[in-house]
Structure 1
Amino acid sequence: MDRLDIEEMFSALGPVSIRRMFGGKGIYHQGRIIALEFRDEMLLKADAVSAPEFEAAGARRWAYEGKTGKPVNMPYWSIPEDAFDDAEVMAHWVRLAYEAALRVGK
């Protein structure tokens, strides 16, 4: 995704900053990381409060294979498909990501 696409996706929050990381991009709002773009997929931050909602919507949790061969679950989830066709639905998911980032900071 290019900068304009990312800014549009997160427009419900206001300005975001984009930084290169992990071979992808980190998306930040008000200094807190709220999403990662990795391997051409946008992944939103979630926590114990919001992860069940992501899971119920059919989103996938990002995991990678650790050194022991076991999966390491990360606090990032795919965006439910219906969000890509509806700005209000996308706004809901990006707000959940920001709320999770705020809770992590406490």
Structure 2
Amino acid sequence: MALVANEFVTMVADLLSPLGQITAKRLFGGWGLYCDGTVFALVFKDVLFLKADDLCRTRFEAKDLPPFRPHGPDGICIAYFEIPGDWLEDGDDILPYARIALDAGLRALAAKNAKVKKPRKRKAAKISENSR
């Protein structure tokens, strides 16, 4: 059985489609939005949040966009910012910030892929008295 997104997620995915192929997957009790396989947005309780990082966080903060706090106002802050509902009425409002979020997602993916796996240390084999 295929997982089907709700109407809001479908509407947002359509609005963001100029960025690339937008897909939605269940994530954090809501939906993760991916562009060509890179996560760049979340939908939680029919609210859109766009990804930010240290290079672009100030752009979202300058617009006084609240950060995503999944555990309430005193909970932890996750690097996503809430997008006002009226921005969803016109792609001209949302697409520039969605591109910024996608760039943040691509940087996060590149950093993850750049991490070099440390070689695992092999345990020394025990030599028993009988095998000598």
The answer to whether the superposition gives a TM-score over 0.5 is yes
Distance in 1 between residues matched to 2:18 and 2:69, nearest whole Å: 27
Distance in 2 between residues matched to 1:4 and 1:71, nearest whole Å: 28
Name the larger-Rg structure.
2
Matched, 1:28 2:34: yes
Q: Mapping of 1:27-106 within 5 angstroms? A: 27-65=33-71, 71-80=75-84, 83-106=87-110
SS of 2:100's equivalent?
helix
Structure 1: stretches of 5+ with no match in the other structure: none
Give RMSD over aligned pairs. 2.0
Structure 1 72/4 Cα, relative in aligned 2: closer, same or farther at 3 Å?
closer
Following TM superposition, the consecutive aligned residue runs of length 4 or more in structure 1 with deviations greater than 6 angstroms are none
Listed one character per residue, the Cα deviations across residues 11-32 of structure 1 (whole Å, up to 9, x for unaligned) are 2202111111222111011211
2:121 aligned partner: none
Give yes or no for contact 2:43–2:49 (8 Å, CA) kept in 1.
yes
Could you state the TM-score of these two structures normalised by the residue count of structure 1? Answer: 0.83
CA apart distance, 1:80: 4.3
Bigger relative contact order, structure 1 or 2 (CA pairs below 8 A, ≥6 apart):
1
Could you state the TM-score of these two structures normalised by the residue count of structure 2? Answer: 0.68
Structure 1 17/27 Cα, relative in aligned 2: closer, same or farther at 3 Å?
same
CA apart distance, 1:97: 0.8
